[in-house]
Chains A and B, each alone.
Chain A
Amino acid sequence: MSEQSLLSVISITKQFSSRQGKMNAVDNVSFTLQKGQNLGIVGASGSGKSTVVKLVQRLLPVTSGHIYFNGVDITTISGRSLRLIRRQMQSVSQNPYASLFPNKTIGQNIVEPLLIHKIGSASERVRTAQHLMERVGVPSDQFYAFPHEISGGQQQRISIARALALKPELLILDEAVSSLDVSIQAQILHLLDDLRHEYDLTYIFVSHNLAVIRLICSQVAVMFLGRIVEFGPIDVVYAAPAHPYTRALLEAVPDFHEVSAANEMMKESDPAPAMEPPTPYDMPSGCCYRTLCPFATNLCAQDQPSLQMQHDGRLVACHYSELTTGGASR
């Protein structure tokens, strides 16, 4: 793998065993991330998108595969070297209230990472925290407010400030704006966009919301049942999705443009009969999407398609990607 890429993930697999048997939450996932190129990971619940970033952060051990961060293999490191890597790789989670330390005030929450890594003197740490609070838009005179005393949007700002305290290179945002109201979500997106330039950050943005990912990321990985089915520059993928699943996802996102035509459209498009999506415990043979795919053939049942490089620079895991590529028909 090239030395300059910030993160490369090479065929990582995560297997969980439970009473229902073994299942691959993440199945042979590979991607590389260059500095400054934000990556969006989209997929439905259970697609393994959150597990991927937990593996990257080393919060879970991988079953197989390798993870390189700045050219260093971090797959099995532990102790001091792992803690040093974690300084450069921070995350913000979906539920800010649950992820802030409840026994510390919001200011102390930002001080905590500095304390953990013994950075600076006590007064320097407080000054850094106050500066970060102001930067993310929470008045620093609220230093001694407890997490439960501020609103959800403010909590998420504090989470972001805490993640920035160690000056990381990579910031993983796991559904970081999903639980916020749209008006607050827009504020946070602006903040993230400003911070990216200011702190020279690279984001991995995990979300089920394709519209949000599009605004922040330059690349997108679409996941289905633990596998990446399409990966590429966001404008290419969104303009003409190549994998049937990407296409279904994009078509399902509601849009204001449909509103006026909504009632006319009704008559022609009857709701499709519901199909129970496959679960990781009973993976279909061959292509994992074939049971839902309108284009599936015998080949799809026999052969699992691998990610193939297309002429426009994206990767698609579909036997018929040349045929299916086309605008999200509107």
Chain B
Amino acid sequence: MNALLEVSKLQVQFHRDGGISRAVNNVSFTVLQGQSLGIVGESGSGKSVTIKAVMRLLPKHARIEGEKLTFLNQDILALKEGAIRHLRGRQVAMIFQDPHAYLNPTKTIGSQLVEPLLFHRLATKQEAKQRGIDMLRQMGIPSPELRYSQYPFEFSGGMLQRVMIGMALIAQPTLLIADEPTTALDVTVQAQILKLLKKIKQERQMSLILVSHDLVIAANTCDDIIVMYGGQIVEKLPSRKLVQESRHPYTRGLISCTPTVHGPLALPDPIGGLPLNLRQPLPVGCFFAPRCPHRFDRCTVEQPKLINMGNDHEVACFLVQNVMGGVTQ
């Protein structure tokens, strides 16, 4: 499979009020055609900033550096404003947490849905309407003809998120980026939306990046998982290996912290301490060391690199490195 999106050594810093916030530190990953990748982390882990940097959606005071940042071999950082808009609208589509914030309350759902088609001149008005209604039907929205001419306030949150997904898909993008798409929804609706996302991803052979704070959701929806902490990737592995084979203490901690309805009936083991404050000077060693139950001397003086464990599994932790006998990439 071809590499669709390649990110190598991405760094993002925010300079403001005389301070520096190091939001993303040396992040590298690749998204293949047809692959779904989950990026998981808590608040301040840099997961959203990474995605926004890739789509050039960050404010002006953000400093983005990277060895490589390409989409289908085009250098994203070098693209002109017009080209990046073309990229965002046609090849890469995005959906966000709060559909209300992205929909114009004074325009009908239909007219907003087909906007990308008309904007990029992909269809005539009549064709666009037909495709819009088809899209609503595919998104599982009942009586799509009627819904097409209704306004956002006449939809529930779950319905609007379906419309947003439809809007993202209508120009047939090659990559869909979903940033916390179900966080604002009720649990039953969330399950429906995630199923829908998986279905369309499979049917269209499209790539998907799902950004989430919820490890379970990401693992259930995506082929591969990236776990981020303090703006770094700490572990990268296929989802099916997550529960059994993940090695990083932070990933293990997240798994044991996440309450489930069928797990053991004991309180989850918490990860001690507080999340890394990216506004303060960063630790010399491993960013997770201050909270890590297994830390030893080396962790506080040296930063672990991502080590390939084979079978698409990479970990940045000295514990693993010790066991592996220091195999490096």
Are B198 and A272 in contact (CB-based, < 8 A)?
no
Q: Pull 7 A–B residue pairs with CB atoms less than 8 Å apart, ordered by A.
A: A181-B275, A182-B214, A183-B271, A186-B270, A215-B266, A256-B255, A256-B263
- Chain B contact residues, CB within 8 Å of chain A: 42-43, 139-142, 156-159, 162, 186-192, 194-196, 198-199, 202, 213-217, 219-221, 239-240, 242-243, 253-255, 257-263, 265-272, 274-275, 291
Q: Which of A140-188 contact B (CB under 8 A)?
A: 151-154, 181-187
Report chain B residues within 8 Å CB of A215.
Answer: 259, 265-268
When chains A and B are docked, how far (Å) is the Cα of A140 from the Cα of B189? 43
Interface check A252, CB cutoff 8 A: yes
Interface check A253, CB cutoff 8 A: yes
Which of A106-114, A274-282, A299-307, A314-322 faces chain B?
A274-282
Q: Which of A203-244 contact B (CB under 8 A)?
A: 208-212, 214-215, 235, 238
Interface check A74, CB cutoff 8 A: no
Contact A262/B268 with A214-B261, A276-B159 known, Cβ cut-off 8 Å: no
Are A182 and B219 in contact (CB-based, < 8 A)?
no
Determine the residue in chain B with the shortest Cβ distance to A46: B186
Are A248 and B142 in contact (CB-based, < 8 A)?
no
When chains A and B are docked, how far (Å) is the Cα of A248 from the Cα of B140? 18
Report chain B residues within 8 Å CB of A262.
Answer: 219-221, 239-240
When chains A and B are docked, how far (Å) is the Cα of A328 from the Cα of B188? 14
Determine the residue in chain A with the shortest Cβ distance to B187: A252
Q: Which of A239-282 contact B (CB under 8 A)?
A: 248-260, 262, 266, 269-277
Determine the residue in chain B with the shortest Cβ distance to A185: B257
Contact A249/B187 with A185-B257, A276-B156 known, Cβ cut-off 8 Å: yes
Report chain B residues within 8 Å CB of A181.
Answer: 42-43, 213, 275
Closest 3 CB pairs of A and B: A186-B270, A181-B42, A211-B259
When chains A and B are docked, how far (Å) is the Cα of A186 from the Cα of B146? 46
Interface check A193, CB cutoff 8 A: yes
Contact A183/B253 with A214-B261, A259-B219 known, Cβ cut-off 8 Å: yes
Interface check A293, CB cutoff 8 A: no
Contact A186/B267 with A266-B199, A271-B192 known, Cβ cut-off 8 Å: yes
Are A238 and B261 in contact (CB-based, < 8 A)?
yes
Report chain A residues within 8 Å CB of B260.
Answer: 211, 253, 255-257
